[in-house]
Chains A and B, each alone.
Chain A
Amino acid sequence: MYPSIHPSIHLSTLTSISSSPVIIYVHLAVQQLQTLCFLANFPLAKMAAQEVQPSETIAKLKSESEALKTKLEEERAKLHDVELHQVAEKVDPLGQFVMKTRRTLKGHGNKVLCMDWCKDKRRIVSSSQDGKVIVWDAFTTNKEHAVTMPCTWVMACAYAPSGCAVACGGLDNKCSVYPLSLDKNENLAAKKKSVAMHTNYLSACSFTNSDMQILTSSGDGTCALWDVESGQLLQSFHGHAADVLCLDLAPSETGNTFVSGGCDKKANVWDMRSGQCIQSFETHESDINSVRYYPSGDAFASGSDDATCRLYDLRADREVAIYSKESIIFGASSVDFSLSGRLLFGGYNDYTINVWDVLKGTRVSILFGHENRVSTLRVSPDGTAFCSGSWDHTLRVRE
């Protein structure tokens, strides 16, 4: 009744212990795995199907990829195509940076997922997996307000430009605005205003230039612009083929565009008035977790699960720099620029923060300290410091 093939036998065919280790690439097409899942109630059947022939030798694959790379570079050189680091060759290299943790904010009982600075340059709002949203004076490390959301995984939070309210949301599929009251006895939740409604989790939110409008992105694959007072949907943005994970508003003169990044590996630039996607960039190899405009608004940076950060020039309409290193294996969860745009800070899933020279494409510094993933990172409004939040329950302000 039961198949007589034993898993131990398969083990021995896949691993010869007495001879040198054999590296086996297990490439399974989508169809194959689906079929496997359909057919196999028993793990044995899965194992049998996975007894794949060893693929081509590594050496051959290696030389093939090297040849392709060279050819590509040759072609590009013919067209006088350049990348940012080539243009920046004459720029003075940066010296050593000493960046220390100046404040550690402890108080969340679970993973910190998101944070945002207040325009007063010292207050921040942060949200966590256990539903808590806390407003801190990061300078004194005092907690000033706390709200408990009715859902877990509050993945998005934002400070209103006036400093009088915060917005947050997550697995509740909504974005709610809480006016900040200084009456200690008043329950902030009482004045809560439900603004955005999506059909899947809220991944990011941001006020526009005023307290009256909020831009949201969601796991339902869309972004949307909302009127805070009435909760009315002002504009929706369709175009991503999968969950949208992040967004950032452009600091441009006309203030009408924003960029979003998603699980479809695309970064899209949108016109807020028409709802149209006006530009799209697809060079990442995995989910885009974070997007942030270069201070002039002429470009934006992205951080992705493919362990790279990239810079996209909006006028040239393409990627102009990649920030990566072979030793960086884990995805970048959050990116932001220093005030001059010369430094790009990236928070990574390997608990570190890598600091990149934006112009030269090199890594300037690696910062340790967090004890779990860095999930969120923002530079303060006047560029005097940056704050990182982590799954280790803490936030750190560093300079």
Chain B
Amino acid sequence: SFINADFNIFRYHVAVMCLENIMERVIVSMQDPDMGMKMRNQRLLITVIPHAMTGRDIVDWLIQKYTITEEEALHIGNFLVKYGYIYPLKEPRNLCLKQDETPYRFQTPYYWTSTRWPASELDYAIYLAKKNIRKQGELIEYEKECYNALHKRINHTWDFVVMQAREQLRASKQRRKADRIVLECQEQAYWLINRPPPGVMDILEQGPDRRNVANTRVQLVSGQMLAIFVKYCEQYQDHDPIMQGCLPSNPWITDDIMYWNMNSETVTMPTKLRVERWSFSFMELLNDPLGRKELLTYLEKEFSAENLCFWQACEEVRHGEASKIAAKVDEVYKQFLAPGASRWVNIDSKTMEKTLEGIKHPHRFVLDDAQMHIYFLMKKDSYPRYLKSELYKNLLAKAIVPQETKKSVFPFMRRQRHSSPSPALVTQTAEDNGKAKPSAAKANAGTASQI
């Protein structure tokens, strides 16, 4: 079970590795002999620590190397400190990057989060024991609590812990003062990150464990294929409120909900942009309930309204409750497919034959082929004619172009943010009034009966 526990930790560790590998790349760049940071000696009281750098130098280097703003460089630099790749020489408990003469040093790879994760309890015990021995009472409150808890938990190896602590302290006394200070700083920085004091955000928190795998087709793509994206973006640019704004105004900016009111489902006269959008694709027309209504009006004139009704009925079968499929399919058959049906749809004989056969054992997708046939029929035939029709052209001509409303500069004149009835309320009221609950497909297709 020891093996399994460690293996699970390792598997999880693979996910963490990616972030650290990317950070390591940055750190390695920073230490590049040619293009890396200029380091200098730093005086700490009477000791000189080599290979240090200032916070200002770090920020400047990041700005220059990645062509980013000071704000972004400081943001990144802070993470390098918070994740323990760089540590401050003065004020070691304050793990943040200051953009001034504050000295910092690179953490030794031995203590990188990627190499020494997860931190071992035994190592932490040794570290705390060293602190305790070195100076009685040097442990701060939460460290004392951890120390006592560890003493209880791994009591069986406590002799070893104390022996190791003593050995390490003895060895460190034999070092030069500069080396000793650096080693202590490095170790302390490591533990501040892996055992953060209460109240400090645990930077290493990752969320629930994930299982990973520790791991190509060469396809060609021509410029022509990618041109569709350029075309789509161009076509929709004026309709993109974040990019171009919207008229009369964006409700989130001006607190005025006119834009939503003017574009609601039940509006009598739609906006010009909205009607224009119906000409972009058949899907756009169908996805807009108002557009669908207009299309139905047009199809009625052409005596082919049953196509749209059939399509919608099929949607309801596909997206409705499993328990109602058989009944719905039966309804569809009676209304649209049976010989002599009141709203008979004109499907090719092959598809019709297949569909009628399938209906004997109805399932969710049994009407798919027939639905697709009618969909493409409408798309290729009725839709282009609708766009050329007087009905559409007149609507487009009459459609509204809203006036712009600006956000009020004066706070006391700012609009009140009005609440709107919850969609749940609309349903509830309908239910209370004994009406049938709006079909679940309402948001998309609308019920056959409403049309």
Contact = CB atoms under 8 A, between A and B. Distances in A.
Contact of B251 (A139, A213, A264, A352): A139
A379 B10 CA distance: 36
B294 interface: no
Given A242-B210, A287-B210, A339 B423 contact: no
Contact of A264 (B26, B28, B212, B225): B212
A327 B243 contact: no
A80 B72 CA distance: 37
A211 B440 contact: yes
A43 B120 contact: yes
Contacts of A234: 322, 364
A17 interface: yes
B221 interface: yes
B10 to A, nearest CB: 6
Contacts of A121: 260
A137 interface: yes
B7 A34 contact: yes
Given A102-B253, A265-B215, A330-B19, A320 B322 contact: no
A306 B15 CA distance: 10
A317 B71 CA distance: 39
A325 B65 CA distance: 12
A210 to B, nearest CB: 4
Contacts of B257: 139
B221 A327 contact: no
A315 to B, nearest CB: 6
B142 interface: no
A331 B19 contact: yes
A316 interface: yes
Given A21-B106, A329-B19, A384 B241 contact: yes
A210 B241 contact: no
Contacts of A15: 108, 110, 186
Contacts of A327: 62, 66, 68, 72-73, 76
Size category of the B interface is: 35 or more
A341 B73 CA distance: 29
B268 to A, nearest CB: 19
A153 B79 CA distance: 25
A38 to B, nearest CB: 5
B243 A338 contact: yes
Interface in A156-192: 161-165, 171, 179-182
B138 interface: no
A91 B235 CA distance: 13
B323 interface: yes
Contacts of A340: 232-233, 235-237, 239-240, 243
Interface in A77-132: 79-84, 86-88, 91, 94, 99, 102-103, 118-123
B321 A212 contact: yes
Interface string A323-342: 00111011100000011111
Interface residues of A, number: 138
Contacts of B160: 2
Nearest to A305: B18
A241 B320 CA distance: 32
Contacts of B72: 327, 366
B230 A359 contact: yes
Nearest to A47: B110
Contacts of A53: none
Contacts of B62: 327
Nearest to B234: A91
A212 B216 CA distance: 39
B198 interface: no
Contacts of B441: 209-210
A212 B320 contact: yes
Contacts of B364: 234
A334 to B, nearest CB: 13
A278 interface: no
B77 to A, nearest CB: 11
Interface stretch (B90-98, B164-172, B394-402): B164-172
B260 A122 contact: yes
A342 B233 contact: yes
Interface in B196-213: 201, 207-208, 210-213
B322 A230 contact: yes
Contacts of A122: 251, 260, 420
A241 B213 contact: yes
B110 A11 contact: yes
Given A212-B321, A340-B243, A399-B250, A219 B440 contact: no
A209 B287 CA distance: 11
B413 interface: no
B269 interface: no
Contacts of A212: 319-322, 440
30 contacts: A34-B7, A43-B120, A86-B223, A88-B229, A91-B233, A94-B243, A119-B443, A120-B420, A120-B423, A122-B420, A139-B252, A140-B418, A162-B427, A210-B320, A212-B321, A228-B321, A229-B323, A230-B321, A230-B322, A245-B210, A251-B283, A263-B210, A263-B211, A265-B215, A285-B18, A313-B225, A313-B226, A315-B225, A318-B217, A379-B242
Given A139-B257, A209-B319, 19 more contacts: A7-B168, A23-B28, A86-B223, A139-B251, A144-B422, A179-B424, A209-B315, A210-B320, A213-B319, A229-B323, A243-B211, A273-B368, A307-B22, A325-B66, A327-B68, A329-B19, A341-B229, A384-B242, A399-B253
